[in-house]
Structure 1
Amino acid sequence: MAGADGQQHRTLADSATAILHEAILTGRLPAGTPLRLTEMADLLGMSMSPVRESIRRLAAIGLVEVVQHKGAWVMPLTVEDAIDTHEARIAMETALVERAATRFTEADAQRAAAALAEHVAASARGDAPAARRAHTEFHFTIYRAAGSRWLLRGLEPVWENSERYRFATVTPPGQHEERVREHQAILDACVTGDVAAAVAAVQVHIRHAAERVLAKMNTDAVAVPPPRGPQARPAG
């Protein structure tokens, strides 16, 4: 029975984590929202134990802040954090795509192309959760080709935080096509093994994302310094 109870706890904790994770990323639980155990447990229809575990997991990936004896709340969204988040993405994703472009296989290309097609289709039909999953799968299919589990592990919490800012930014209709072109440029460069083009495409893509976020968050976007990052290096 102990084993069954433990499995049920893990299942409930997994469910609570998935629900709260999606709510935080999409803004249904806005930045700064207190995550009170009793309220969350009532909302999710489960005991406080799996909810407590889910909050611990979300804190481990940087989406929730927990202070002993004070409670837990959704991490705030700030200009400084947005800049730091996108700078970290540039550094890590540059390193990943630089390696991935030299190791990219036909199977990698097919999986990435399928994820990109689903991202476009889900966005067109207004299915934000499916679009987010496909967007993540597209990028991480490419980055997994780099063969670096430590870089991937390092990127995951940064990526999750970046998604919060992406959801908080309404993309004008004309920029959807621009983002599709940027994604396609990353994929094309990896397929052809053009390291310099892959690096440049990733950096342009992330910088444009940062610009949209900062323009949304600041009334005077010009005064906000752009995210730094390594510059594209010529191949060879």
Structure 2
Amino acid sequence: MTSTDHDLFELSPDGPAGIHRTMADRVTVEIHRLIIMGDLEPGSALPIRDLADRFGTSSMPVREALRRLGGLGLVEITPHRGARVAETSVEDLEDTYRVRLLLEPLAVAAAAESVDDAHLDRAADALARHNAAIDAGDLDRARTAHTEFHFLLYQGAASRWLQRAIEPVWQNSDRYRFAASGREKDRSRAEHTEILEACRAHDATAAEAAMRRHLEGARDRIRAAMLARRG
């Protein structure tokens, strides 16, 4: 994978071999993981001093980490009141997926036109690891492999700006995705396979349609899970 911003969140805290992580990077990775996995719930306060003690660092890396996560919409920072985990809502879910539906089908369609088999083999390996982690109940590893699978496809579009546009809405949708991780697991697997095979066939129209169905299905499953919890 290339050294893009999403590597900071989706790979291990130590990063890929040969890439140095600053303390701010490491703290960002860990706070991000805690938010995505639900250990830091929506609305939770994020006291800088407490987080610094938790991670064994000074306040500066924590401030930088919260600033970065604020830029992704995962953290809300209010002057003189501090930071807290951003709230979730059905409205925000739908808005997030509205943007994803504009960008990600476009990315896989572009990838399908030119991506090579070696690149798709790497995506297939990531998908296999995602499925195995889901079966094992390891949602943290499943999340990482799921992101790797998708972004390997998006990298195949050979558009740095398109990938950059996808990253922030992807990060926000990650807060919602595993709320529905146990719902229709087989359907999600079939959708992923359909996208991958359309790319292998270099069928841009089929890849775009498959990605659109996948995103719409994920949005609907997550929305149903959120409404069920409310009810």
- Corresponding residue for 2:124? 113
Determine if contact 2:198/2:207 at 8 Å carries over to the other structure: yes
Q: Does 1:38 align with 2:38?
A: no
1:123 shift after superposition: 1.2
- 1:66 is aligned, of 45, 57, 77, to 77
Residue identity (%): 45
- 1:52 is aligned, of 40, 53, 63, to 63
1:54 shift after superposition: 0.9
Give, in whole Å, the separation in 1 of the partners of 2:229 and 2:98. Answer: 20
Q: Does 1:185 align with 2:194?
A: yes
Map residues 1-236 of structure 1 onto 2, 5 A cutoff. 11-172=22-183, 175-219=184-228
Determine if contact 1:16/1:50 at 8 Å carries over to the other structure: yes
- Corresponding residue for 2:15? none
1:199 shift after superposition: 0.9
Give CA deviations for 1:155-201 in whole Å, capped at 9, x if unaligned: 101001111101223423xx111111100000000000111111111
Q: Secondary structure at the match of 1:102?
A: helix
* Amino acid across the alignment from 1:186: I
When the two structures are aligned, how many residues end up with a matched partner?
A: 210
Give, in whole Å, the separation in 1 of the partners of 2:228 and 2:61. Answer: 41
* Amino acid across the alignment from 2:64: E
Give CA deviations for 1:8-33 in whole Å, capped at 9, x if unaligned: xx722122111101000111001111
Give CA deviations for 1:83-107 in whole Å, capped at 9, x if unaligned: 0001111100011111111011011
Give, in whole Å, the separation in 1 of the partners of 2:180 and 2:172. Answer: 13
Stretches of structure 1 lacking an aligned partner (at least 5 in a row)? 1-9, 222-236
**Greater Cα radius of gyration, structure 1 or 2:** 1
Stretches of structure 2 lacking an aligned partner (at least 5 in a row)? 1-20
Determine if contact 2:72/2:171 at 8 Å carries over to the other structure: yes
1:208 shift after superposition: 0.7
Give CA deviations for 1:10-59 in whole Å, capped at 9, x if unaligned: 72212211110100011100111111111211222222111111111111
1:219 shift after superposition: 4.9
Give, in whole Å, the separation in 2 of the partners of 1:213 and 1:128. Answer: 16
User: Is 89-98 or 210-219 further displaced after alignment?
Assistant: 210-219
Determine if contact 1:27/1:168 at 8 Å carries over to the other structure: no
Give, in whole Å, the separation in 1 of the partners of 2:199 and 2:35. Answer: 32
* Amino acid across the alignment from 2:188: R
Give, in whole Å, the separation in 2 of the partners of 1:216 and 1:103. Answer: 37
TM score, norm. by length of structure 1: 0.85
- Corresponding residue for 2:9? none
Q: Secondary structure at the match of 1:65?
A: strand
Determine if contact 2:179/2:226 at 8 Å carries over to the other structure: no
- Corresponding residue for 2:13? none
